[in-house]
């Protein structure tokens, strides 16, 4: 007799699997000015706790948001690690902090919509709500980026929070003062101002201009044709005869510097570089002064900029307490090598502060 035994029921070797936490981690923007904030947002599934690391820290809820200040130039790293019954998972974000910004505005040049670039240099650690702006215009053949990298004296002033620097690039690396290009660079300047006015950090009511050579020519022209700049410093170029004929709309302070033996922009005026007809350095300064009802007998002084002897002429008692100065640097040509022996840009900035409204 055979007995067959059957068993009922039994046990299974299968176990339930608990999933690892999932994380959705985003930033409101992927780049931001140093010292300003972005917002981090996150949600999770299957998590019971979260921990932040990198450029933020602390225990975080399993979903939420937080405003975070960008503290450094370059990569700012944010890591969120979340743990649940299924283990631990992490998500990383990188937000680029910047103090140099490249922007573009559109301008019509000869019927073609053209990208016009400019560079913005902010202070190393911006702390103010609003800053004055100083435009720096390069010479012929240069660019905004090259000019940004050429003057440590300007960068030093920016980094201590005196102002924000604006470094535009000329069309075809030139400024159209006397037909050099087909671009309307006064309009380009106005387009930049309109762009800056979209943010309160730029106080365009306190705007100034520094220009070198061809760049000096364009700031003379901009100052004559617009009512925006409170002071200009045209270096190694005076006004052209065409610019001199324009009547300025508002009084502004002028800090003009010329080389005594400049062979491109002759100090005595006449035919110069690119077939341009210049006023003399003295006539150019007098032109500004007479437009602002200054005393037409300048104060004269002999000073030194390091090893350079300099003649200084100051037209005072002007409208709105502005001032017109021009300097003749002896034995100096078409260059600003003397900036290496004096703190030229600090002198210019102090002049703007003390003579403009």
| CA neighbor of 256 nearest in space, from 164, 326, 344 | 326
For the segment 160-168, the average pLDDT, to the nearest whole number, is: 97
Mean pLDDT of the chain: 94
Give the pLDDT band (50/70/90) at residue 246. very high
- Give the other-Cβ count within 10 Å of 277's Cβ: 13
Rounded Cα distance between 217 and 244, Å, is 11
Among the ranges given (4-13, 121-130, 142-151, 281-290), the one the predictor scored with the smallest mean pLDDT: 4-13
CA distances to 61, 77, 231 from 348, rounded to whole Å, are 53, 40, 9
Residue 77 above 50 pLDDT?
yes
For the segment 21-35, the average pLDDT, to the nearest whole number, is: 95
Give the pLDDT band (50/70/90) at residue 6. very low
- For 189-241, the pLDDT digits (tens) are 999 999 999 999 999 999 999 999 999 999 999 999 999 999 999 999 999 99
3-state DSSP of 82-120: EEECCEEEEEEEEEEEECEEEEEEEEEECCEEEEEEEEE
Give the pLDDT band (50/70/90) at residue 10. very low
Residue 11 above 90 pLDDT?
no
CA atoms within 13 A on the CB side of 163: 25
| CA neighbor of 20 nearest in space, from 92, 90, 91, 87 | 87
Residue 9 above 70 pLDDT?
no
Among the ranges given (80-84, 136-140, 273-277), the one the predictor scored with the smallest mean pLDDT: 273-277
Output the pLDDT for position 16.
57
Residue 3 above 50 pLDDT?
no
Higher-confidence residue of 10 and 134: namely 134
Rounded Cα distance between 161 and 164, Å, is 8
- For 106-136, the pLDDT digits (tens) are 999 999 999 999 999 999 988 889 999 999 9
- For 303-326, the pLDDT digits (tens) are 999 999 999 999 999 999 999 999
Output the pLDDT for position 330.
97
- pTM for the structure as a whole: 0.89
- 3-state secondary structure (DSSP) of residue 185: helix
Residue 36 above 60 pLDDT?
yes
For the segment 29-52, the average pLDDT, to the nearest whole number, is: 96
Taking the domains of the chain in order of start, what are their residue ranges?
22-98, 100-355
Fold of 100-355: Rossmann fold (3.40.50)
Overall size of the chain counted in residues:
357
Give 249-253's long-range contacts (Cβ < 8 A, gap of 24+).
251/291, 251/292, 251/318, 251/319, 251/320, 251/322, 252/223, 252/292, 252/322, 252/356, 253/322, 253/323, 253/324, 253/351, 253/352, 253/355, 253/356
Output the pLDDT for position 17.
87
CA atoms within 13 A on the CB side of 205: 4
As assigned by CATH, the class of the 22-98 domain is mainly beta
């Amino acid at each position: 007799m055979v007995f067959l035994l059957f068993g009922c029921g039994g046990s299974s070797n299968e176990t339930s699997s608990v999933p690892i936490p999932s994380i959705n981690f985003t930033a409101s923007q992927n780049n931001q000015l140093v010292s300003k904030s972005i917002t981090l947002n996150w949600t999770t599934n299957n998590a019971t706790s979260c921990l932040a690391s990198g450029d933020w820290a602390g225990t975080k809820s399993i979903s939420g948001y937080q405003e975070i200040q960008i503290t450094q130039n370059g990569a700012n790293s944010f890591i969120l690690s979340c743990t649940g019954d299924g283990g631990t998972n992490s998500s990383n974000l990188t937000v680029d902090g910047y103090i140099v910004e490249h922007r573009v505005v559109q301008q019509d040049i000869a019927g073609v919509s053209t990208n016009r670039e400019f560079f913005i240099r902010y202070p190393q650690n911006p702390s103010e709500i609003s800053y004055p702006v100083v435009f720096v215009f390069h010479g012929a053949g240069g660019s905004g980026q090259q000019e940004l990298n050429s003057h440590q004296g300007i960068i030093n002033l920016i980094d201590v929070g005196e102002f924000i620097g604006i470094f535009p690039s000329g069309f075809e690396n030139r400024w159209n003062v006397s037909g050099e290009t087909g671009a309307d660079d006064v309009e380009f300047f106005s387009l930049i101002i309109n762009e800056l006015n979209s943010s309160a950090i730029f106080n365009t009511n306190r705007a100034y201009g520094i220009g070198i050579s061809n760049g000096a020519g364009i700031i003379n022209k901009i100052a004559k044709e617009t009512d925006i700049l409170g002071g200009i410093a045209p270096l190694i170029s005076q006004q052209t005869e065409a610019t001199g004929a324009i009547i300025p709309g508002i009084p502004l302070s002028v800090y003009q510097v010329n080389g005594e033996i400049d062979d491109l922009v002759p100090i005595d005026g006449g035919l110069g570089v690119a077939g341009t007809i210049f006023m003399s350095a003295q006539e150019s300064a007098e032109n500004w002064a007479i437009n602002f009802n200054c005393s037409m007998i300048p104060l004269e002084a002999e000073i030194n900029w390091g090893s350079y002897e300099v003649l200084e002429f100051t037209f005072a008692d002007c409208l709105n307490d502005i001032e017109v100065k021009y300097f003749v640097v002896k034995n100096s040509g078409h260059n600003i090598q003397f900036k290496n022996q004096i703190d030229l840009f600090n002198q210019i900035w102090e002049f703007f502060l003390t003579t403009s409204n």
